Amino acid sequence: MSVLVYTENWEGKFKKLSFELLSYASEIAAQSGDQVVALSIGKVGENELNLLGNYGASKVLAVGYDGELDNQVYTSIIAQAVEKEDATIVIMSDNFTGKALAPRVSAKLKAGLVTGAVAVPASFDPFVVKKKAFTGKTFVHVKVNTAKKVISLIGNSVEIKETANAISIEKFGATLPEAKTSVKEVNRLTGRILLTDAEIIVSGGRGMKSADNWAPLEEFAEILGAATACSRPVSDEGWRPHHEHVGQTGKIVAPNLYFALGISGAIQHIAGVSGSKILVAVNKDKDAPVFEVADYGIVGDVQKVLPQFITAAKELKANS
Amino acid sequence: MKILVCISNVPDTTTKIKLVNNNSGYDKTGVQWIINPWDELALTRALLLKEEQGSPITEISVINVGTKDTEPTLRKALAVGADDAIRVDAEAKDAYYVAAQIAEVVKNNGYDIVLCGIESSDYNGSAVGGMLSELLDVPSVSSVSGLFIEDGKVKLNREIDGGTQVLATETPFVAIVQKGIALDPRIPAMRGIMMARKKPLVVLPPADIEALTEYIDYEMPQAKSACKMIDEDNAGDMIRLLHEEAKAI
């Protein structure tokens, strides 16, 4: 039997989340005595595929197909891999791709689904997994009653562990059903750090005052290798594009470090960032709710603080 | 063309969650129940589509799997403008149970487009829409931020990890929608509230379906330690602290 991990790649390289998923799967496999099989769909080179062994995979099923994401086609490939490898647990990310595929895979296999998992199973018999609920306001323990299981994991929930495994790479010629959706146009954010994949996020709110004040924020983000984001009022005002909106109705993020600059911390915004390891808040209102959830804070004007951040970050990078 | 909008009945998003009965449940006293925000946007988009000149949409139905307590939420959907409502009379045990109940209704009634919100604000499952489409063996388009019908053909904008897609699909299909599908949810007017009382709300017995999972108990997140404050005039210290103490840079 095996634990199957659906890995994801971006511009030919595996995303960090793939290594997290493998680390997570390895912990499960160590307890259940199964092997970890990684499924890779897309054009990925052999060297890159071999990397997966460093995170606990003992086998990679490589599907060369790189068609646009069609939920039915990809679900079919995953289901075929499950059958081939006699997988009892399927693991994927709780991102847009995972949200698209995990429920379909679950229904196809009649496998109990836990989305938004944040930890390895608390117990195996019964099989209980902790997941996020009420957008991070609480957690709930879910018991899965079926032999097969599907779990989607929230980013940054587990440490990446390197455990070198001898790895075999197998080209997997899955049967492809005909896609019933046809993609007319794709816009890729090429060469950019994806918000949902970023280690550091620099986010601006209404305290930034206007669309014209974003240059220092962008400069700061670039020095840190961070992605930029914003709060809802900012995207509603059109100061920043909608895909940067972080919060309950926008993107849910969980980076290592989140800068909330000029963001007061409405409950809907906090719901979207509460998974961040370290939260830094800068706000001129000392009573802003963001300070209740922040780890580090400055009561002050973003306009004054950002140039100091930039200088200090430049010094730090120059010395490292 | 008939549209079905799946409605989840959830606590208002500003609700403070307080656990009760040895953490086996949360306190529901005083909770305001609302249409799940993403379902509400889905319904708003469906109504806008129906109102377009020469629209092929003839009927918008809403469905909820729930006990009688959820009827005010369905009535609100009717007040906003849905034509009729269906309630499958059962506790929503898990996402699979809900999806399978809705699948039965869709098979019997034949909708062209089924709309679901990308998640419900209670258990954040993001599961019903995808499961439903698989059970019906129809296409699903997820994280949809735009839905258009031009000359009878469906066009969707979809967000993927790392970009966006514009795509076409055949009917019937399930669209799982997110922010952007509609700007603001439509609010019921007094006339709509009056009319909603007369619109049909059909109660159906549940099909015999077994849930695949169950909720055991809840756990509150650990309280954060106090926020460490740094002076505005020494803001650069923040970066050094994040490097040396938090090891985050």
The per-residue pLDDT for A268 is: 86
Please report, to the nearest 10 degrees, the dihedral formed by the alpha carbons of residues B151, B154, B160, B162 taken in order: -10
Tally the domains of chain B. 1
Residues of B in contact with A76 (CB under 8 A): none
Provide, rounded to the nearest whole percent, the portion of chain B with pLDDT above 70. 100
Q: Using the 8-state DSSP alphabet, how is residue A98 labeled?
A: H
Nearest to A278 among B221, B235, B246 (CB): B246
Query: At residue B222, does pLDDT exceed 90?
Result: no
A224 phi and psi angles, rounded to 5 deg: -85, -10
Longest distance between any two alpha carbons in chain B, whole Å:
68
| Chain pair A-B, CB pairs under 8 angstroms | 285
The per-residue pLDDT for A206 is: 96
Q: How far is A35 from chain B (nearest CA, A)?
A: 25
A217 phi and psi angles, rounded to 5 deg: -65, -40
B43 contact partners, CB below 8 Å, separation of at least 6: B5, B7, B35, B60, B62, B77, B80, B81, B82, B115, B185, B186
- Sheet containing A296-299: order of strands: A227-230, A200-204, A257-261, A278-283, A296-299, B228-230
Domain contains B197: yes
Q: How far is A230 from chain B (nearest CA, A)?
A: 15
The per-residue pLDDT for A194 is: 79
The per-residue pLDDT for A283 is: 98
In which residue ranges of chain A is CATH 3.40.50.620 found? 2-171
* Residue A47: half-sphere exposure toward Cβ, Cα within 13 Å: 2
Q: Write the single-letter amino acid at A284.
A: K
Please report which confidence band the pLDDT of residue B14 belongs to, taking 50, 70 and 90 as the band edges. confident
| Contact: A293, B224; criterion CB under 8 Å | yes
CATH class (in words) of the domain with range A195-319: alpha beta
Instruction: For residue B183, give its domain range.
Output: 2-216
CATH class (in words) of the domain with range A2-171: alpha beta
Residues of B in contact with A97 (CB under 8 A): 160-161
Domain contains B238: no
Please report which confidence band the pLDDT of residue B179 belongs to, taking 50, 70 and 90 as the band edges. confident
Nearest to A183 among B167, B178, B224 (CB): B167
What's CA B75's distance to the chain center, in Å? 16
Query: At residue B132, does pLDDT exceed 90?
Result: yes
Separation of alpha carbons A218 and A205, rounded Å: 13
What's CA B51's distance to the chain center, in Å? 22
Tell me the mean pLDDT in the region B36-51. 97
Tell me which residue has tokens 């280690």. Answer: A199
A320 contact partners, CB below 8 Å, separation of at least 6: none
Separation of alpha carbons A295 and A316, rounded Å: 21
The per-residue pLDDT for A146 is: 98
Tell me which residue has tokens 């808040």. Answer: A281
Nearest to B127 among A115, A271, A316 (CB): A115
Closest residue, chain A, to B25 (C-alpha): A140
The per-residue pLDDT for B231 is: 97
Lowest mean pLDDT among A124-128, A244-248, B100-104, B133-137: A244-248
Q: How far is B154 from chain A (nearest CA, A)?
A: 10
Q: Which helix (H) or strand (E) holds B125?
A: none
The per-residue pLDDT for B51 is: 97
Angstrom distances, CA of residue B139 to CA of A72, A167, A182: 6, 35, 11
Which segments of chain A have a pLDDT < 50? none
Nearest to B232 among A71, A256, A305 (CB): A305
Q: Which CATH number belongs to the domain containing residue B114 in this structure? A: 3.40.50.620
